[in-house]
Amino acid sequence: MSTTPRNTTRRPLSSVLLALLSLLAAAFLTAPTAVARTEAVPTATLTEVTGFGTNPSNLQMYLYVPDNVTAHPAVVVAVHYCTGSGPAMYNGTEWAQLANTYGFVVIYPSVTRSSKCFDVSSPQALKRGGGSDPVGIKSMIDWTVSTYSADTSRIYATGISSGAMMTNVLLGDYPDVFAAGAAFSGVPFGCFATTDGSEWNSACSGGTITHTPQEWGDLVRAAYPGYTGARPRMQVWHGTEDDVLRYPNFGEEIKQWTNVLGVSQTPAATDTPQSGWTRTRYGATSDRAPVEAISLQGVGHNLYANGMATRALTFFGLDSTGPAPQPQPGACKVTATTNAWNTGLTASVTITNTGTTTINAWKLAFTLPTGQTITNGWGATYTPASGAVTATNATYNGTIAPNASVSIGYQANHGGNSAAPGGFTLNGTACTTS
């Protein structure tokens, strides 16, 4: 199992103190600066974003944008456990590293209330637009979509324990926002509901709340009355020896989401992807089945380990949509020059493969200087026309042999700055420039 920070929801005091010490250490590894942002944040570093929109419960927003962020990137919302934080989730999971490989953006919401647990129990939290934490998280997504022209069809939620419960809540409250979710050691939507202001529901945590699939599904549907659109897919994980959120909650989650997605409770496929794991898929047998459930025999509440995020990424479908992790670092060189007049310019860009293996299919990412907008181009498809641009190979020049080069170019308008871009990444790897 991983030695990364674990969820310690409702653990004995000694366990909580140990967890807090671990999280403090993790926080020192990454100490993001709180800065009000109205435009893109620095890349390859965790940054706190303030003033991101409606935020009734005073959540903090942390954002990670990789150097090779794609045009119209996917967005993953990674939600921490009780006693945790956005920076702890950043340090203790692989989502940032996966973002580096595949070019998506990661939002890390962070609780400021004393418990450091997300609100998954109040009537406000269990209703679309009702207030509390889900509204703040939705504002974070809206800010990110607006700032990065993110792909609204590829927004995902994942979380551990309290974050897993919030994943269930987010998919229930905002089915039109999320494409899929992955919940590690959670409970069904609405299971933790309380009306007395308490954050804790002992009956749910103890695994004694059961409903029919229809009843569970109705709880989800009541969060957004009248909604008839597509529903997000769900992946759930649980350990059989979970003593914080008991194992029966796993079966109740399966009942709920199979009903919500209108698929049979009888698995379409069952396998053992790893010793001690039982994986069942509902509604389809593929990696992107409507519902996927992984049971870990003999494992307790703190089940999350390195490698699991990669499996969630596969369920999301993000492991094949970003830039390939080739060529290796230092294996490309780019030369860019411009020829300008009044308010226009042409740019010539030469990409050279300085590695030892052939590049098959490429994406060249760069940022246009402020005020420049591409009006047409050749040798590649350019999207978007300004800001962070990705040039994708044409059908005739997608292969670059070792020591070979490809020349592309574009025409652009400018507002006075006619310089060439200063940095380039090829399939996610920074290139040398000359």
Has 161 been annotated as catalytic?
Answer: yes
Over the range 413-428, which residues count as b (16 or more CB within 10 Å of their CB) and which as e?
bbeeebebbeebbbbb
For the beta carbon of residue 9, count every other beta carbon within 10 angstroms. 26
86 phi and psi angles, rounded to 5 deg? -60, -50
DSSP result, 120-169: -SSTTTTSTT-SSHHHHHHHHHHHHHHHHT--TT-EEEEEETHHHHHHHH
Of the residues 121, 161, 185, 295, which is catalytic? 161
What own/partner pairs with CB < 8 Å and gap ≥ 24 does 382-390 have? 382/410, 383/71, 383/72, 384/71, 384/72, 384/149, 387/40, 387/149, 388/40, 388/69, 388/71, 388/148, 389/71, 389/365, 390/70, 390/71, 390/363, 390/364, 390/365
Residue partners of 286: CB distance under 8 A and separation at least 6:
none
Q: Is 199 strand, coil or helix?
A: coil
CA gap 327, 309 in Å, rounded: 24
Q: Are 201 and 192 in contact (CB under 8 A)?
A: yes
List the catalytic residues: 161
